[in-house]
Amino acid sequence: RALAAGEVRIAVRAAGLNFRDVLIALGMYPGEASMGIEGAGVVLEVGADVSGLEPGDRVFGLLPDAFGAECVADRRLVARVPEGWSFVEAASVPVVFLTAYYGLVDLARVRS
């Protein structure tokens, strides 16, 4: 399909496996959901209004359908892979980082 505004097409190279995916596989997750929510890969194509990324960039983030060969993600949920990180390392970060952030900032109200 053609990309909408703000979207990025990514060739997935690694994906994180989370408890949510286990629940989906067991048929225990409420409602409809696809497996794979975080991953890393290479940008194939960017939407017309996307800036800061271009085809060939190594990226990671919250990638819907990350267990597939390709996915389409919201540009706001994708970042470049830091220098020296493998795709596997990058794919393991988004969900655990956001979980820790939520616990510290939103629940515990830790401030600088």
- For the segment 50-106, what is each residue's pLDDT rounded down to a tens digit? 999 999 999 999 999 999 999 999 999 999 999 999 999 999 999 999 999 999 999
**Residue 33's CB: how many other CB atoms inside 10 A?**
13
C-beta of residue 73 within 8 angstroms of C-beta of residue 61: yes
Q: Is 111 helix (H, G, I), strand (E, B) or coil?
A: coil
Whole-number pLDDT of residue 112: 86
Task: Give the whole-angstrom CA distance, residue 65 versus residue 39.
Answer: 9
Q: Which tokens belong to 51?
A: 């800036």
Could you give all domains of the chain from N- to C-terminal order, each with its CATH number?
7-107 (3.90.180.10)
pLDDT bin (cut points 50, 70, 90) of residue 5 is: very high
Rounded distance between C-alpha atoms, residue 78 and residue 100, angstroms: 18
What pLDDT score does 29 carry? 95
* Cβ–Cβ < 8 Å for 55, 28: no
C-alpha to C-alpha distance for 110 and 36, rounded to whole angstroms: 30
Rg (CA), the chain: 15
47 has a pLDDT exceeding 90 = yes
Give the pLDDT confidence score for residue 86 in this predicted structure: 98
How confident is the model over 1-27, as a mean pLDDT?
A: 96
